[in-house]
Chain A
Amino acid sequence: VSRAAPLFLAAVLGACATGYRSPEDSEPMAREIEDRNVASRVRMLLGTDPETAPYPSIRVECENGVVTLEGSVDREAVRRRAVELAKAARGVARVRDRIVIARS
């Protein structure tokens, strides 16, 4: 029991120190929301641009500000335009281009 007492005290003090919700606690949630909103901004640009709007198959994901574009298009110009639009969206740090050209 005497050996366990300091450990218990340390655990209580640790809990006391972390009991409050600090601004840092909400950071992962804020990061996830920002990533989802960055992806939405890119989708909005792709969906309203005349070049990329006819290609809803281009999927957009974002993690830590890095946007990944996936899917297939039939023209190189569409792929280039999609990447260009994604780079222009607010909050995008980098664009990972995984769009493939599937010629029919």
Chain B
Amino acid sequence: VRKARRRRLFWIAGAVVALWLLLGHLAIDAAISRWCAAHYKGDARFSFAVVWPWLGVDLFGARFRSRGDGPGYDLACTRLSVALDLGGALRGSPVASMTVAGLSGEVREGADLDLFQEPARERGRPPPAPAPPVRFSGVAVTFRDANGRSHCAVEADALSVEQEGLGHYRVEALEGRLGPIPFERATARIVPRGAHVLVGDLKLAALDGLVEGLLDVDRSRAGAVNGEISWQGVELARAAREFRLPRRERIRGRIDGRIAFKGTSLAADALEGKGELRLANGTFESPISLAVVLLLKLPVERPSMFHSGEMVFSFERSLLYVERARGYGTSFDLAAQGLVGFDGKVDLEVTHGATTVAVRGTLEAPDATLLPLNYLTRPFDRLFRDRISPR
């Protein structure tokens, strides 16, 4: 009799678990498909799902694919851990990779993705329009190209993505990091427009200043991008600290500026563009200006070698072409023109009055030499400039 009871219990327990697995799988499959349909007109496929008795769910090998007018994307979840609470909401911690517009991103473990905000009993009904916002408590995304090279790493806390009803999305993040730069209160609109995906109305607070921008990714030309970024009131001391510039203790002031760029991808060596910078009411000096001042024995009134300055530059192939730079000090001004490599190598001509100094070496350890026969040597220097430029 005991054996028969045990066997019966075993079969009942097995049937309950099997039913649970089946129902759990179906419910989540339907819900995620509906979420995809509401947000992206996409579909979802899962290789299998594991449903835990304490209502935690682990999904393996999930795959989402977009179709229709939305931004084309291909999202593969290697693991999607979903917690099903009694109110019917699903919260997930995805480990996923996503490919959109020729760039791929990765979402690290730890992101808390609030997938479904409707109660469980409403599942199966047509989705409300517009779709509810998707909120992430923490996301880290690294964009890579087809060769696996990292272009841009973005980390964001309290990220919210909301469909605005016209086929575009509003993104908000409380704080995060864009590469080495920390930011706060970021807002942007993502607008899919034919073959283009636009990130516009971008506004964020970074380095104590305001940054605005526009980015356009052309999906018809894989990875082709163009855009513009402007900034006002960025604190030079914080920027120097974040970018680990040399002599950052002698750098202060607010900078305004803008850059406009285009390229085949977001990698630094694939971008080219033009920009300008203005420093006002600050203090600024660099090893380059110090080397020139020491060579020319110019009088320096510390702590302010320069109180303001301006620079017009262009960049391509990891080289910054300083087309026109000028530093204004209390006792003298310096002008500069030449090349600065993204790797820190410099090849500049710094002018003080009628005197010209050649500065070569690196940003941190420049070597300054006087060009006494300026007018005679300059043409030959020009001729060989490409050979000595820091490539």
Contacts and interface: CB of A to CB of B under 8 A. Distances in A.
Interface residues of B, number: 38
B7 interface: no
Query: Considering residues A12, A40, A44, A50, which has the most beta carbons from chain B within 10 angstroms of its beta carbon?
Result: A40
Given A17-B379, A53-B168, A47 B198 contact: yes
Nearest to B316: A29
B105 to A, nearest CB: 21
Nearest to B262: A33
B191 to A, nearest CB: 4
A101 to B, nearest CB: 19
A56 B312 contact: no
B193 interface: yes
B168 A36 contact: no
Contacts of B385: 19-20
Question: Which secondary structure dominates where chain B touches chain A?
Answer: strand
A48 B166 contact: yes
A87 to B, nearest CB: 18
B323 to A, nearest CB: 4
B260 A20 contact: no
A6 interface: no
A40 B226 contact: yes
B383 A16 contact: yes
A37 B227 contact: yes
B198 A43 contact: yes
Nearest to B193: A47
Contact of B193 (A12, A13, A37, A46): A46
Nearest to B200: A44
Nearest to A46: B193
Interface of B: 69, 166-168, 189, 191-194, 196, 198, 200-201, 214, 216, 226-228, 260-262, 272-274, 312, 314, 316, 321, 323-324, 337, 379-380, 382-386
17 contacts: A15-B382, A18-B382, A19-B386, A21-B323, A23-B324, A26-B321, A29-B272, A30-B274, A40-B214, A41-B214, A43-B198, A43-B216, A44-B193, A47-B167, A47-B168, A48-B189, A59-B194
Interface of A: 12-13, 15-23, 26, 29-30, 32-34, 36-37, 39-41, 43-44, 46-48, 50, 53-54, 56-57, 59
